[in-house]
Structure 1
Amino acid sequence: MTWARKIFNDLTEPLASEIPRCLIRAHQRAKHGHQGVGTQTLEAYGHGLYAAQYEELTAGLENLPEAVPVRLQGRTVMIVAGYLLYPLRYAKKDVPVTEAHLRRATGFRADLIRRHGPEPVQAELDLGLEELQEAEVHRDLLRISPDTRLVLLAYACSIERGVVRVEWGDAELRHDDKHLLWHHHEPLGLPADGGPN
């Protein structure tokens, strides 16, 4: 965890241990919700997982030193040591995080990654057009200091298998693209017992 240690120092181990546990608890809650609703589709699971991931990460990380909650789009996310930790379920099966992409090239998530992710590896071609691309910034993003950097908590998870892979890192998202270009990504180990303590 060389990359993570450079940015989180002594918080690296507590974060690396707790983040997978939070995501596993979110999966368990979503699975129980799906079973309780008893629908044929996975809507209850998907919506439940989306909501629970934020709640579990907040509960699991809020007592760490340098942890500050912030509300974005009606959800609480944690900023730890100046890095916003943002969950991203990128797959339902165990595939490399390098295959992760967003569903859409626009919207809140895309804006968050473009604004707070790493500087692009290759600068976009400047045709002399003044920042037409930099339309309106989503108002929730104005709640975050421009200096805050983004760490994606990318994970693969399904109702049948649970959380099968978790990685953290930083990725850029080019304009009009939904594919993530990872600058750094490192795996986070899953608990040996397959679940939180």
Structure 2
Amino acid sequence: MVHPRLTLAVSIMETIAILAYAISGFLEARKRRLDPIGTFLIALATAFGGGTVRDVLLERRPFYWVEHQEYVIVIFVASFFAPYVLRLVSHVISERALLIADAIGLGLFSVAGTSIALDAEMPPFIAVLMGVTTGVFGGIIRDVLCNEVPLILRDSRPYATCAFVGCWVYLLLARMNVDSVYSVLMATGFILVARLVTYKFDVRLRH
């Protein structure tokens, strides 16, 4: 039996991940001097774009953000106060904390996407690709909407690679019949550590 605290931990990580991705959208919108509606669209796309693309490919309905409108409402309201939100975040939360939150988002979204694809009876490799799509595609959509070459295509530091390997770790744990909550936490932890270590030591992939 899974301890309720573990389930709570996953829920807290989910909230941190969504807010971290939304803040990433706020930052990009501020660079572009977008109005509140534009800010909302960019933040929403960053936070839920990957999951939406996954759900479209898997023909899965309703979309996650439709089922959890509370996140959408929070992002919508925050978009009208984005400059103040970012100012507060910069004073309260360090750049390192934002990096950790983003890494949590990458890990949790990627693993969750893999799990959903497995539930849809996708083969393992496709399930992993769906997981990576969930983790990274929000940032790709954000950059495309802002008329930029996606960061993931011009930054040689491993990002999607960490998610890709971590999703295989999740598959391995699932094959070993490890409880799903433990599997999510361990695979997410692997991606988190891999992302932070490669970032700290400036590991880069060959062009």
Question: Which structure features the higher share of strand residues?
Answer: 1
Question: Which structure features the higher share of helix residues?
Answer: 2
